[in-house]
Structure 1
Amino acid sequence: MNTYDIATIDGDGIGPEVCQSAIAVLREACGERLRFTAWPGGAAHHARTGAVLPEETFAACRSAHAILHGAAGLPGITYADGTEVGNDLHLQLRFRLDLYANVRPNRLYRGVRSPLAGWEAGGIDYVIVRENTEGLYASRGAGVNLRGEVATDTLVVTRKGVERVARFAFELARRRQGAPRDGRRRVTVCDKANILRSYAFFRAICDEVARGYADVEIDYAYADAITVHMLKKPDFYDVIVAENMFGDIISDLGAGTVGGLGIAASAELGDSHGLFQGAHGSAPDIAGQDLASPLATILSGALMLRWLGERHGDDALVQGAARVERAVEDVLAAGQTVPRDLGGQARCSEITQAVCRQLG
């Protein structure tokens, strides 16, 4: 029986609470097959030591089978250029480990009411695949601020970067059951190909990749128009692939339609490494009060189990992922242990215990 080393970084704010909650659930689901080792990092660590991601933490993450992260960032802890220190933790891991595909599932669970009227559980079920290492965010730390008068950042798109994230999206669509509306496997390319050459290039490369996937439809949507379509016809979507910044924006919009960032799981994946964390921030205003929802981090842990299971041919982990997701949905559907962001009053510890009981 295989065992797996998981590097964990609690981080800042509610990070320690939600990370430890996810660990408890994953242990309940998988027993001792996962070996968790905690490592330091985050904005508070930077304030104490000058390092947001210590080299020993990076080395541990690089050698681990997977990385589980709570959250990072604290108000007022910024670099000289005004950018937030906390974000740099996962940005460094993203670029140094080449985690080129950010995977953001958007599924409406039983027991969760969408702010979009009339949608029921399962009616919204798609995944946004965001290119994670290029695009506008490749300029982070490298843009130009000229005399405090002019600032520029450059959008970078490469053939290799687009090819691999497009292939990732088509492979993912091939493994899914299709869009809720019609059951058709579909990849929607989100861009602004009508205005900018960089996005026309992005679309053209996606078209090239699509020729190798006759069983998956290709669809197109401009980034501004898709924000309307995601509200009016979310059941049309199966997999959406987008450049870094556009993917970042529409991922949060998608999360809002299925309950918010408190239930939004996230995986950042490369060919050899995977980082898993909830899509929300560190919420320092409620840190240490047992008020945070751990569901996004727990569901990110389920993504980790599925990724590890598929990567290592371990069906037990794949089944464990499905059990965790089912347990979360069963707890929400029961309506007795609902986090504050979804309209309930349950504490972080109570939600964790409820999910663990459902798994037991």
Structure 2
Amino acid sequence: MTSYRIALLPGDGIGPETMAATQIVLDRIVAEFPDIQLDCQSHRAGAELYRETGETLPKNVLDACLDADAVLLSAIGLPDVRQPDGTEVQPTMMVGLRRALNLHSAVRPVKLYPGAPCPLKHTGAGIDFVIIRENLEGLFASFGGGSMVGDEVATDTLVVTRTGTSKVVDYAFQLASRRNGRPRDGKRKVTCVDKANVFRSMAFFRKIFHDVAAKYPEIDHDAVYVDAMSLYMVQNPSDFDVVVMENQFGDILSDLGAGIVGGLGLGPSAEVGDQHALFQPSHGTAPQLAGKNVANPLATILSAGMMLDWLGQTRNDANCIAAAVAVENAVAEVLSHGQVRTPDIGGTSSTTDVAIAVADAIVASVRSDA
């Protein structure tokens, strides 16, 4: 039996509810995969804590995240809880976590499951690609910096380094080597998204992309300008497999990606570094829904599945990889049946109902395969 320490950060708004729902699923995973033990420890962090204490991420909580095998975060931040300069506390906490854990690659799957709502009339051969967002540099490198000249001029600096870009591009190619290729023809392909026709920093990003791509001759690669990519994701989503880009571009296009596959309630994510990883849904805290047990837990549940897969890949644990597959298959099963779903995707079920349905689907799948 392998035991993993998981730091849970339920956060704010609907965060505690979707985390509790995800815990139902993880408990079922542990029951059905006896060789996996998850030691989950919950910690307070975020806006409500800041309101009470003036801290969003206490040192003991950060230390717990650093000591854990993985971090599972639900949602952080509240619009009415702000720092003295008027900014929300969520960016400060998240950027701090990313920097402390050195999480260089943000991973946002864009996958249309059967039964999930899609606003597109045509999806080609289907939608199943992954956006890889550089997570520490780009325009976000200016967070906490930048400059102001009186009330007249403000500047932020976009930063691209060879080391940071090489890491995220290398991760993109490694991921492509494990996937089944793009839906249209099964070709494994990594696409660089940039604005290399205008900015030196983006031209440098593309140059590094091609340098890294040369190490993976078995995987096709190309480059697309970011404005064109926003069109192609809507018109021809089945053309893409793995897509890698600068931080700010990834921040924008990943939400577009979620929009074409059912919304942020179905958008999981991972933030991965050389030693650590953090997993969280793409959505926010939705305080207007908090306490009503109607929030969609599937993004958090799928993020937990990504956590199991990462543990399996990095620890060479086949049981964790199998458990990750079981989580995703169970979510797909629940969506395809269409009977249990939350209001955001056209249903009337509660957060808890959806979690129980996914947990039951895991049991049915695992036992049918036994």
Alignment TM class, shorter chain as reference: over 0.9
> Which residue number in structure 1 is paired with residue 225 of structure 2?
222
> Which residue number in structure 2 is paired with residue 240 of structure 1?
243
TM-fit CA distance, 1:357: 1.1
- Aligned CA RMSD, in angstroms, stands at 1.1
Deviations along 1:99-139, whole A, 9 cap, x unmatched? 0100000111011131101338x710000000000000110
**Letter in structure 2 aligned against 1:68:** L
Structure 2, unaligned runs of 5 or more: 364-370
Structure 1 position 10 matched with structure 2 position 14: no
CA distance in 2, matches of 1:269, 1:30: 24
**Percentage of pairs with the same residue:** 48
User: What SS does the corresponding residue of 1:62 show, helix, strand or coil?
Assistant: helix
TM-fit CA distance, 1:148: 2.1
Which piece of structure 1 moves more, 82-91 or 95-104?
Answer: 82-91
Which piece of structure 1 moves more, 97-106 or 137-146?
Answer: 137-146
Deviations along 1:24-49, whole A, 9 cap, x unmatched? 10121123611100111001101111
TM-fit CA distance, 1:267: 0.2
CA distance in 2, matches of 1:346, 1:203: 46
CA distance in 2, matches of 1:213, 1:15: 40
**Letter in structure 1 aligned against 2:5:** D
User: What SS does the corresponding residue of 1:157 show, helix, strand or coil?
Assistant: coil
> What pairs up with 1:7-46 in 2 under 5 angstroms?
7-31=7-31, 33-46=37-50
User: What SS does the corresponding residue of 2:244 show, helix, strand or coil?
Assistant: strand
User: What SS does the corresponding residue of 1:20 show, helix, strand or coil?
Assistant: helix
> Which residue number in structure 1 is paired with residue 367 of structure 2?
none
One of 176, 196, 210 as aligned partner of 1:207: 210
2:24–2:355 Cα contact (<8 Å) kept? yes
CA distance in 1, matches of 2:86, 2:149: 15
TM-fit CA distance, 1:90: 2.1
User: What SS does the corresponding residue of 2:232 show, helix, strand or coil?
Assistant: helix
The TM-score normalised by the length of structure 2 is: 0.95
Deviations along 1:127-171, whole A, 9 cap, x unmatched? 000000000011011111221221111101101000110000011
One of 130, 134, 137 as aligned partner of 1:131: 134
2:289–2:295 Cα contact (<8 Å) kept? yes
The TM-score normalised by the length of structure 1 is: 0.98
Structure 1, unaligned runs of 5 or more: none
> What pairs up with 1:264-343 in 2 under 5 angstroms?
264-343=267-346
CA distance in 2, matches of 1:30, 1:134: 37
1:30–1:317 Cα contact (<8 Å) kept? no
User: What SS does the corresponding residue of 1:6 show, helix, strand or coil?
Assistant: strand
Structure 1 residues 264, 223: CA separation in 2 closer, same or farther (over 3 Å shift)? same
User: What SS does the corresponding residue of 2:311 show, helix, strand or coil?
Assistant: helix
> What pairs up with 1:56-67 in 2 under 5 angstroms?
56-67=60-71
Provide the aligned length of Structure 1 versus Structure 2: 359
> Which residue number in structure 1 is paired with residue 349 of structure 2?
346
User: What SS does the corresponding residue of 1:34 show, helix, strand or coil?
Assistant: strand
2:22–2:301 Cα contact (<8 Å) kept? yes
CA distance in 1, matches of 2:151, 2:346: 45
